[in-house]
């Protein structure tokens, strides 16, 4: 069984970069999109479809309480969504059994709760997240700021619903994490080596 670090993150907060750098700093395996690839293999669904199910929170088409009352077979899409979650569960467990790793998102903190992962949540002010998205964009001059703000909020709303649906817990609530770090105005490259020292 490896040492596990899980990273929850607001969209645009730099959480993915934080996780990647942390895995490099500690020499841990970085696990992010490879989960989607593995799920696609296990479920025979396309990677794009799996990614859509995971990233776009299809349960947002149902209310959480309604979706919970449905049993398997009631609804084809819901059924498939649950198969993907179940495959994801197996795959995350397999990775975690095998070696030390940093896992981005996907309720890994909850899925691996019996392995005592170190659970980090990365967040930032909306202004800082907008700025980070613009810096990252290829054609930043074409960005509509209002649209961008709306998109950021939508992605996080989906992440929050997805997390709540599968874990019954509140996404971004301190109680569910060991460290919550605000990246507003901070350089992630400089933060990571310090945080790494907390973990060894």
C-beta closer to its own copies: residue 86 or 116: 116
Binding flag, residue 169, its own copies (CB under 8 A):
no
C-beta closer to its own copies: residue 1 or 174: 174
| d(C-alpha 162, C-alpha 85), whole Å | 10
Quick one: which of 42, 4, 8 has its CA closest to 163? 8
Binding flag, residue 7, its own copies (CB under 8 A):
no
Q: Which residue is associated with the tokens 């890994």?
A: 108
* C-beta of residue 105 within 8 angstroms of C-beta of residue 159: yes
Binding flag, residue 80, its own copies (CB under 8 A):
no
Binding flag, residue 191, its own copies (CB under 8 A):
yes
Binding flag, residue 143, its own copies (CB under 8 A):
no
With CB under 8 A as the rule, give the number of residues binding its own copies. Answer: 18
- With CB under 8 A as the contact rule, the residue among 92, 115, 177, 188 that binds its own copies is 177
- Least CB distance to its own copies at residue 116 (A): 9
Binding flag, residue 167, its own copies (CB under 8 A):
no
- Least CB distance to its own copies at residue 15 (A): 13
Binding flag, residue 141, its own copies (CB under 8 A):
no
* C-beta of residue 184 within 8 angstroms of C-beta of residue 10: no
- With CB under 8 A as the contact rule, the residue among 85, 95, 110, 121 that binds its own copies is 121
Binding flag, residue 11, its own copies (CB under 8 A):
no
Alpha carbons within 13 A on the beta-carbon side of 142: 3
C-beta closer to its own copies: residue 42 or 164: 164
| d(C-alpha 39, C-alpha 83), whole Å | 9
Binding flag, residue 182, its own copies (CB under 8 A):
yes
Interface residues with its own copies (CB under 8 A) are 121, 123, 125, 172-175, 177-182, 184, 191, 194, 197-198
């Amino acid at each position: 069984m490896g040492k596990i670090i899980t990273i929850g993150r607001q969209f645009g907060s730099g959480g993915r970069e934080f996780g990647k750098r942390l895995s490099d700093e500690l020499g841990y395996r970085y696990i992010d999109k490879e989960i989607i690839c593995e799920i696609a293999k296990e479920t025979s669904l396309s990677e794009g479809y799996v990614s859509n199910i995971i990233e776009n929170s299809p349960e947002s088409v149902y209310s959480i309480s309604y979706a919970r009352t449905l049993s398997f077979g009631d609804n084809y899409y819901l059924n498939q969504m649950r198969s993907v979650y179940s495959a994801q569960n197996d795959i995350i467990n397999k990775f975690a059994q095998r070696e030390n790793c940093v896992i981005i998102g996907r309720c890994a903190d909850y899925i691996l709760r019996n392995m005592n992962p170190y659970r980090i949540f990365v967040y930032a002010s909306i202004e800082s997240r907008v700025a980070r998205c613009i810096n990252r964009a290829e054609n930043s001059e074409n960005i509509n700021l209002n649209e961008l703000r709306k998109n950021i909020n939508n992605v996080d709303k989906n992440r929050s619903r997805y997390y709540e649906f599968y874990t019954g817990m509140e996404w971004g609530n301190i109680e569910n994490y060991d460290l919550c770090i605000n990246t507003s105005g901070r350089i992630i490259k400089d933060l990571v080596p310090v945080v790494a020292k907390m973990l060894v």
